[in-house]
Amino acid sequence: MRVIGLDPGLRRTGWGVIESEGTRLRHVANGVVTSDGGLDLARRLVQLDEGLLEVLLAYRPDEAAVEASLVNKNAGSTLKLGVARGVVLLTPAKHGLPVAEYLPMIVKKAVVGTGHASKEQVQTMVGHLLPGCAIANPDAADALAVAICHSHHAATGRRWSAGGKEPLPAAQGDRR
């Protein structure tokens, strides 16, 4: 399964694409879609939509996962982030991808093992889970973490849906 993780932001929306097969993860690509702060809000949202569409067409993910946003102290910032999130949720959905959302605490727990991990800890663990991955920046690292989180949750969901009939993947080095 190919997953795109998205970390929404009006200035910078991080994205990361991974492939997962059982418990194996492989980095495909990562980066950031940016918008021009000198433009009006509507044009910036168009830039996000067009940039995300380019990424979707280039890497053809099967599913998308988006980090949910928590309320900030600054109402204006929260509103701008909310409209950017709308674009980030809409763009993959309108192109037929299932879109899941995960709270930051769930993403951190899935990647680091604790929901209160620092950004540095998340970035370090993403590097360990995706060896050889050159992470573009912290926004892309967060997006890769969202993709990893979704990969783990989706695999569990498929096993549950199969009524436990789908075997657990063998661990690397397991010679069953």
Which of left, alpha, beta for 65 (phi over 0: left; psi -120 to 50: alpha)? beta
Residue 166 known to be catalytic: no
> SS3 of 82, please?
helix
Is 36 a catalytic site residue? no
CB-based contact 83:46 (threshold 8 Å): no
Distance CA 48, CA 33 (A): 6
Q: Kindly provide the residue ranges of all beta strands, DSSP E only, lying in 9-165, ordered along the sequence.
A: 12-21, 24-34, 63-67, 99-102
Q: Which of 50, 62, 67, 142 is catalytic?
A: 67
Given the residues 19, 21, 40, 139, select the one marked as catalytic: 139
- Is 7 marked active-site? yes
For the chain, the 3-state helix, strand and coil shares in percent, each to the nearest 5, are: 45, 20, 35
Catalytic residue of the set 7, 36, 63, 174: 7
Active site residues: 7, 67, 139
